A and B are shown apart, each in its own frame.
Chain A
Amino acid sequence: MATIEVVERLRPPSAVMRALIGIFTLWQRDLLRYWRDRTRIAGGLAQPLLFLIIFGAGLSPWMGTLGGATVGPDYLQFLYPGIIGMSVLFSSIFSAVSVVWDREFGFLKELLVAPIPRWAIVIGKALGGSTTSMLQGLLLLLLAPLIGVRLQLGTILLLIPLLFLLAFSLSSIGLVIAARMRSTEGFGLVMNFLVTPLLFLSGALYPLNNLPTWLTVLTRIDPVTYGIDAIRRVVLSSAGVPQPVIDQLGVTLFGHPLHPLLDAAIVLILGIFLIVLAARQFARPD
């Protein structure tokens, strides 16, 4: 009777194995979709470029060298790592919109009835979103020579995990919101209310020292602050800016300058907290 090739009935893989397979498959799917969607790649580059070229080049001549010393970076060089962070911020948060899309277009159902745990879907999505956002941020490193920032290989190798961490944390914020969202419009609205303050408070556009107290407090609550601080410290140090100037332009917490590793740790802890939250929201059955 059965003329169609019969699938081997293997012993079903263990729960951990099923989760790993699910995570990997979804990660790969996001990468494939990213690679295929060239307009998204180009569009994701356009906005940071405009910021750098128009906003940065326009302000730069008025600012001179930052940090009061003749050896300090100009505004464009200060802005550059911030814009890399901004690009990661935009693309990670919006990568989570694909969950809402998948829900609207039905593909999410295919995943929900597959024999993989629901939390694995969330983690796969977060990793997929972080990887593509990291790539988007790394693409901006190509501009370094134009900005007058020399990057060594070591710097780039250091930036990869930093960008990934920031992207992971931000993708998780997106997923927490997307977990219960039913329409793309609703998601877009919430995101706009979230992304703009996250960006403006993050120190991407101006140094976060000598600010009024209320603003200092808000900027230290913004998780993007720490991600961008780590990126900026690494990039400026690679550009040959002396450490005292970097500390002056970098973020301080309770009066102490932060080390990039501490920045990274703060972002990581927050990312883990958020992804657990997203997974829990997602796993709630109907």
Chain B
Amino acid sequence: MSAEKDNIIAFEHVTFTYPDAPRPAVDDLSFAIKKGAWTALIGHNGSGKSTVSKLINGLLAPDDMDRSKIVVNGIKLAQETVWDVREQVGIVFQNPDNQFVGATVADDVAFGLENRATPRSEMVKIVAQAVSDVGMADYAGAEPSNLSGGQKQRVAIAGILAIKPKVIILDEATSMLDPEGKQQILDLVKRIKDENDLTVISITHDIDEASLADQVLVMDDGKLIDQGTPEHIFAQVDLLERIGLDIPFTFRLKQLLQERGIDLPRDADKEDELVQEICQLNSKM
């Protein structure tokens, strides 16, 4: 029973089919996400991973509401509870431009608060705090057309912080950013996760982003085909190739060194470990 209590999100037998689609995008899916964890959801395009995020906050509803069960922070998702669930979950979407509603940074951050009829005096304080939390205080009055993609995604995160949810979902949120923008977003999410006691779900096909996770869920054809620590998943080179993910640097290097007659321990997965192993090899001989 206690295990169930630790879970902030639970899917049980969830099936969802898009209108006119021959097959379900999400097929009898069950999984649970622990409170406070960072979970990466990976899979190739069309594996159903982005559908999952829309199911979590009720933007899409399962085919059969009676058979499927989605629970978010103890609330069972249903017609009547969908707005309560959306209080718990904030989503950063892929395209930085297409989720920027407000005319300026501050206006955009306020959008979620306006929808919840927060009194203006309170709103001003919350917006100022959220904007400065994501390092955009100098740009509060800036218009979106003068911001970079990474800055717009920071604003999207500020808009989510403002409504104080329990879960933040990064739905391919870094895939349209340059490397610098991507790194800034990931650093920011790491920081706010701890500060605000958030649960993070990142839907991604970026190996660096997935490696930040405590747990990785692998989806294919609407089904969960594997789950485990990043180390467990990344060691399966065939699996990664099948779902279209980069082979991590360390695995590629070990493979190339093996071809050159240098065998390194299988468990040296992290780059620093590999550096140690190679240096030891050097001094030993």
Partners in one complex: no
Residues of A within 8 A of B (CB): none
Residues of B within 8 A of A (CB): none
